Structure 1
Amino acid sequence: MHPRVGDYLALLKPRVMSLVVFTGLVGLVAAPGDIHPVLAILAILCIAVGAGASGALNMWYDSDIDAVMSRTKGRPIPAGRLTDGDALGFGVALSVGSVVVLGLFINVLSAALLAFTILFYVVVYTMWLKRRTAQNIVIGGASGALPPVIGWAAVTGTVSWEPLLLFAIIFMWTPPHFWALSLFAKGDYEKVGVPMLPVVSGQRETRKQILIYSVLLVPLAISPSLLGMAGTLYGAVSSVLGAGFLVLAWRVWRGEDMTQPRRLFLFSILYLFALFAALLVEKLVGLS
């Protein structure tokens, strides 16, 4: 079977990559200063390629367990449409290319942050933490939280508290988002021995941790409007959706079935997108 373009695109985890790219774009737009539109597009493209490279290398390393899990067995490698070598070569080439281009055409700091993001996701999360500790998502979430910092650094050549606050929001969002997923995908993780929190500590503890992290996340997500980084629109969106997030997290904690975790998982994607969309709109129309 000859690999198709679509198989290589699937290696990039496009749905995951789209949210990563969007948060990187918001970091770039929110940053003070100017960047040429062509360079801005190039920076976002490099972030996208770097994120896709991380996904490809993750699929290369995890191809053994992907073949067993029902949620992932249709991916290109376990399905036999690509080989491990195809994914490894593709991922390495994209990783090196995205970092080099960002360093040559934008600045060294943003390139270094992108390189760190890729290495952290592939080496620290995928190779080390994922199969060893139930805290894999908590620590590993740092890689997915860095794109707005990279976008900010692409414009300013520096890192300040504002992009670090955006980093913190995504970092705190990641555990309840993925633990909600792991509740209804528990059987898959058990089959392959991945120590996700429901497998190691049980559903009740996982539901409690989801509520705890949600309670910490929501005020943190509102704080940009309180600190002058964002305006009224962001404050309203983060407050209203934050209330919804807490209600769903409370229902996950109180419930026993899989309906509420699924709802929280889907809502959490909307929540993070809406937060960053509100910030983007404010910056583009000059509301903050």
Structure 2
Amino acid sequence: MSMITERSVAGRAPGVPEEAADAAVPETRRDVVTLFRAYLALCKPQIVELLLVTTVPAMMVAAGGWPDLRTLAVVLIGGAMAGGAASALNCYIDRDIDQVMRRTKRRPLPANTVTPRSVLVFGLTLAVISVALMAVFTNWLATALTAGAIFYYDVVYTLWLKRRTPANTFWGGICGSAPVIIGWAAVTGTVAPLGWALFAVVFFWQMPHFYALAIKYKDDYARAGVPMLPVVRSVGRVNFEILLYTVLTVASSLVAWPLGLGWIYGVAAVLTGAAFLAEAVLLARRTSAGQPAKPMRLFHWSITYLTILFIAVAVDALI
């Protein structure tokens, strides 16, 4: 008897044919893979990735180069877990509206891939571990900011603001910007003016970024009863806020320049800021004229803008 056949026979239950036992193995593996993908999706890895893109450069500037590797590893792991925890708990809280939105109905909870209780336990467990990591290996300020960001996102934003006011994106931007100052605080134990300037960049950036997404999925949000700005305000008001916060984003990036960054960052801030503003103006012109809006152009460019800008922050810190 071959080794493979011996393992198959040894692993099957009494009375189960060898062929059936062998067929069950791939099915079990598929179940494990499905669950893994479901829990990964609950963490919204794209959002976590974007948060870490802003955190590491902020840490580098705070350290004047590469930060202590242990601190860097702890903040990356703890930050990823904190972001995953906040996202999983957000999915648990929003499971009712996710069922009626086309953009979200394939998420693990609406698709019944996992149970609400398991998602709640998963999210709370990640939250506790992430805060514990920060508490043991960083300092009280970074730990408090991490815990506060999770609480703010899930309780203040998701449970309260998101369903009650069109200003939800503005106030929700606080927790989305927190990773910048968390990383800075983990390195220095405080937050310098440059850290707050970079925080402001990410804070103001979130309005044009998410308003563009809300324009695309306006009907989805309306169906779910979520008062996103494009759902409850005129096209003119939405365009005004997109342009206003794009200008404030670029202005904040320029304010950060003389606070401790060099010419590489400055050139990147000017060029990418001009392109970001041009995309915002183009979207406003299209929607004002009743033309097809194509808001995802601004959405995707906003991600490119933030990524290039913070790469420039990191390069500047090294040089």
Q: Same fold (TM over 0.5)?
A: yes
Deviations 1:151-179 (A, max 9, x none): 11111111221211111111110111100
Query: What does residue range 228-243 of structure 1 map to in structure 2 within 5 Å?
Result: 228-243=259-274
Are 1:282 and 2:293 matched, yes or no?
no
Query: Do the aligned partners of residues 189 and 107 (structure 1) sit closer, same or farther apart at CA in structure 2, a change above 3 Å counting?
Result: same
Cα distance in 1 for partners of 2:36, 2:219 equals 32
Worse overlay, 270-279 or 29-38: 29-38
Rg larger for: 2
Who is 1:10 aligned against? Answer: 41
Worse overlay, 33-42 or 112-121: 33-42
SS in 2 for 1:255: helix
- Code of the residue aligned with 1:155 in structure 2: it is V
Are 1:19 and 2:44 matched, yes or no?
no
Q: Please, which runs of 5 or more residues in structure 2 have no aligned partner?
A: 1-30
Who is 2:301 aligned against? Answer: 267
- Per the TM alignment, residue 258 of structure 1 is displaced from its structure 2 partner at its CA by 4.3
Who is 2:9 aligned against? Answer: none
Cα distance in 1 for partners of 2:200, 2:97 equals 30
Among 244, 258, 275, the residue aligned to 1:244: 275
Cα distance in 2 for partners of 1:72, 1:126 equals 15
Cα distance in 1 for partners of 2:71, 2:276 equals 36
Cα distance in 2 for partners of 1:6, 1:87 equals 13
Cα distance in 1 for partners of 2:68, 2:177 equals 25
- Code of the residue aligned with 2:73 in structure 1: it is I
Among 118, 133, 137, the residue aligned to 1:105: 137
Query: Do the aligned partners of residues 36 and 235 (structure 1) sit closer, same or farther apart at CA in structure 2, a change above 3 Å counting?
Result: closer
Query: Do the aligned partners of residues 142 and 56 (structure 1) sit closer, same or farther apart at CA in structure 2, a change above 3 Å counting?
Result: same
- Code of the residue aligned with 2:84 in structure 1: it is G
SS in 1 for 2:63: coil
Cα distance in 2 for partners of 1:250, 1:107 equals 43
Among 124, 128, 141, the residue aligned to 2:160: 128
- Per the TM alignment, residue 109 of structure 1 is displaced from its structure 2 partner at its CA by 1.2
Cα distance in 2 for partners of 1:63, 1:277 equals 35
- Per the TM alignment, residue 269 of structure 1 is displaced from its structure 2 partner at its CA by 0.5
Deviations 1:53-100 (A, max 9, x none): 100000000011111100011101001101111111110000011001
Are 1:84 and 2:116 matched, yes or no?
yes
- Code of the residue aligned with 1:263 in structure 2: it is R
Worse overlay, 46-55 or 210-219: 210-219
Among 137, 140, 151, the residue aligned to 1:119: 151
Who is 1:187 aligned against? Answer: 219
Who is 2:84 aligned against? Answer: 52
- Code of the residue aligned with 1:18 in structure 2: it is E
Who is 1:146 aligned against? Answer: 178
TM-score by length of 2: 0.86
For the 8 Å contact 2:58–2:313, the answer to whether it is kept is: no
For the 8 Å contact 1:68–1:191, the answer to whether it is kept is: yes
For the 8 Å contact 2:71–2:187, the answer to whether it is kept is: no
Say what the alpha-carbon RMSD is for the aligned residues: 1.5
TM-score by length of 1: 0.95
Cα distance in 1 for partners of 2:145, 2:227 equals 28
